[in-house]
Structure 1
Amino acid sequence: MSPELPVPGTAHTTAVTMPAWKRKSTLVLLMIVAALAVFGTTTQTWIHVAIAPGEVATTDLDIPGNKAAVAVSALALVALAGALATTIAGRVARIIAATVVFLAAVGVIAVALGIYADPVTAAMAEVGAATGIEGQASEATATLFPVLAAAAAAVLAIGSLLVIWLGRVWVVRTKYDAAKGPSAAKSDEPVDEIDSWDRLSRGEDPTA
């Protein structure tokens, strides 16, 4: 038997499936996880300080990232908000949000690597607050967490660049689609899980 051919004029739509790494859901999740990872590192010890080394009474001080680098915590929250915004933004707004995420990631990398390169300067304020003596002699060493924060921020930056580049081909669904008839809901453009969820919430069949 010969294969059945579609009848001319009959609506016949096939959804094009994107590779996983190009999907909106994948990239947005990547940015969210990376931003949370950056924020998570700030709750850990970034700098270990030995105050007045060589003396009989040597005091140890552990400085977490949210005190050694307040800016990193703030930038991580900005990046998280930007990543969440890309899920509902249109094309232009998505580019703006992804650009904000990228700039926040670059800021995290710069601050984290700066602390890792010069922990003594980064710890100076906390050492002064702990001892009450400005310029107290100390030996400060950075832990691995600033490097981990920079690595997570690098992933965040890559994800935001992919959103800017690949977001041009993502389907943008609006509340006006339903008014344009069934043909507006059916498209040969690539779809992903977020688009399918948007269509389902409007009462449409995402598998159609």
Structure 2
Amino acid sequence: MRRARSTAVLAMLAAGALGVIASTQTWIDVTLDDGAQQTLAVAGADALPILTPLSLAALALGAALSIVGPVLRHVFGVVGALIAALVGLGTAQLLVGRPVAAAASTVTEATGISGTDAVASLVTGFSLTPWLALTLLAQAVLFAAAVFTLVTARRWASGASRKYRTATEAGTGRPHDAIDSWDDLSRGDDPTA
């Protein structure tokens, strides 16, 4: 499990970044019949308002996962799985169902007509873009990375590097000399104590 940490971190960062990018892209093209056939583009952040903040949270989880200890690795794994489940379910509902409710705010902003029934009567058609499927794929990657983190977190190497170990930890049996005393002072230790 030598590369488990970097695999989990990179997968979470990639999923979070794809979620943030997808939130700015067009998810739904809505065709309105308000006298003139008008097509409106609905961005991912408008269709699924939780997408941007939770994708940013996934990015933060990925970045922080690289420096935390074993307990927080498990906590971050659970939080990552919850984020993936929430965004994934919201995206799946838009893919399966009729996304008129997701486009309601954009239609209201363009036409001034509000209310779910009134907006639904204006919408004559809609088409989904590939960004929904890409977002769903990103959430699957995030969920897999979170589960992978939960499974492998205990086996990750600790953050302490070999070059920062003291001579007694490294197992050298040589006597303590003047250079070692200066090194002790540099680290803030009192060599006379």
The TM-score, its normalising length taken from structure 1, stands at 0.71
Structure 2 CA distance for aligned equivalents of residues 75 and 180 of structure 1: 45
* Pairing of 1:1-208 with structure 2 (within 5 A): 18=1, 22-52=3-33, 55=35, 57-117=36-96, 118-134=98-114, 135-136=118-119, 137-138=122-123, 139-174=125-160, 178-179=165-166, 181-183=168-170
Structure 1 CA distance for aligned equivalents of residues 64 and 111 of structure 2: 43
Q: Report how far residue 97 of structure 1 moved.
A: 1.4
Q: Report how far residue 62 of structure 1 moved.
A: 0.4
Q: Report how far residue 160 of structure 1 moved.
A: 1.1
Q: Report how far residue 124 of structure 1 moved.
A: 1.5
Asked whether the equivalents of residues 12 and 61 of structure 2 are also in contact (C-alpha less than 8 Å), the reply is no
Alignment CA distance shift 1:24-1:58 (3 Å): same
Identity among equivalent positions (%) equals: 30
Structure 1 CA distance for aligned equivalents of residues 48 and 58 of structure 2: 16
Unaligned runs of 5+ in 2: 172-193
Moved more, 82-91 or 130-139: 130-139
| Count of aligned pairs between the two proteins | 163
Q: Report how far residue 26 of structure 1 moved.
A: 2.1
Task: Give the aligned CA root-mean-square deviation in angstroms.
Answer: 2.2
Q: Report how far residue 122 of structure 1 moved.
A: 1.0
**Which structure 1 residue ranges, 4+ long, deviate > 6 Å from structure 2?**
none
Q: Report how far residue 174 of structure 1 moved.
A: 4.6
Structure 1 CA distance for aligned equivalents of residues 168 and 73 of structure 2: 26
Partner secondary structure for residue 50 of structure 2? helix
Partner secondary structure for residue 83 of structure 2? helix
Letter in 1 for 2:22: T
Asked whether the equivalents of residues 120 and 141 of structure 1 are also in contact (C-alpha less than 8 Å), the reply is no
Unaligned runs of 5+ in 1: 1-17, 185-208
Structure 2 CA distance for aligned equivalents of residues 181 and 36 of structure 1: 44
Asked whether the equivalents of residues 46 and 105 of structure 2 are also in contact (C-alpha less than 8 Å), the reply is no
Bigger helix fraction: 2
Asked whether the equivalents of residues 73 and 150 of structure 2 are also in contact (C-alpha less than 8 Å), the reply is yes
Structure 2 CA distance for aligned equivalents of residues 146 and 62 of structure 1: 14
